[in-house]
Structure 1
Amino acid sequence: MATISLWYCRVCGLDYDYSPWGPAEDAPDYGTCECCGAQFGIDDYSAAGARVHREKWLAAGGQWFYPKLQPANWDREAQLAQVPEQYW
């Protein structure tokens, strides 16, 4: 059975089964994170940018950007623990 390689949002830690930054992590698709609303390639371009967007998102309540996509058992703190270390 093939293992799915996960990619985690640099801002909120939401897991994706593909990288919106492309296979080489150098070509963002400029899509939007379903959870925090970060625009890939803009808001998460650098660690500092990811921190700024995360702080704004959390200060505004840390709610889902697309609320209908929020899982019923969502745990924001567990998800935030998945943010890649270099983006804290």
Structure 2
Amino acid sequence: MAIWYCRVCGLDYDVSPWGPQEAAPDYSTCACCGVVFGYDDQTAASATAYRNSWLEAGGKWFYPRMQPSDWQLQPQLAQIPEPYR
């Protein structure tokens, strides 16, 4: 199964919220950083700006109940796709 990583925080997903060709976002929300796929992460610059704001605010989970007990920020950030770092 292919894994897709959030362009802002690197959280892994089983299915791309941007669709199979990365061109049809579903405008859902990332459970970790709260980015709205297709709105806040359209470009590398917008993804970076959102990430910086999220990290400056403490990098807390958008849906805290979904945060794994062993979650670590830095390894997750390392999963951000190269064009969006």
Q: TM-score, normalised by structure 2?
A: 0.99
1:26 to 23, 30, 34: 23
Q: Which residue of 2 aligns with 1:43?
A: 40
Cα RMSD over matched residues? 0.4
Following superposition, the deviation at residue 31 of structure 1 comes to 0.3
Following superposition, the deviation at residue 54 of structure 1 comes to 0.1
Detail structure 1 runs of 4+ shifted over 6 Å in the superposition.
none
How many aligned residue pairs are there? 85
Percent identity over the alignment is 62
Give the secondary-structure state (helix, strand or coil) at the position aligned to 1:58. Answer: helix
Instruction: List alignment gaps of at least 5 residues for structure 1.
Output: none
Give the secondary-structure state (helix, strand or coil) at the position aligned to 2:55. Answer: helix
1:5 aligns with 2:7: no
Q: TM-score, normalised by structure 1?
A: 0.95
Structure (1 or 2) with the larger CA radius of gyration: 1
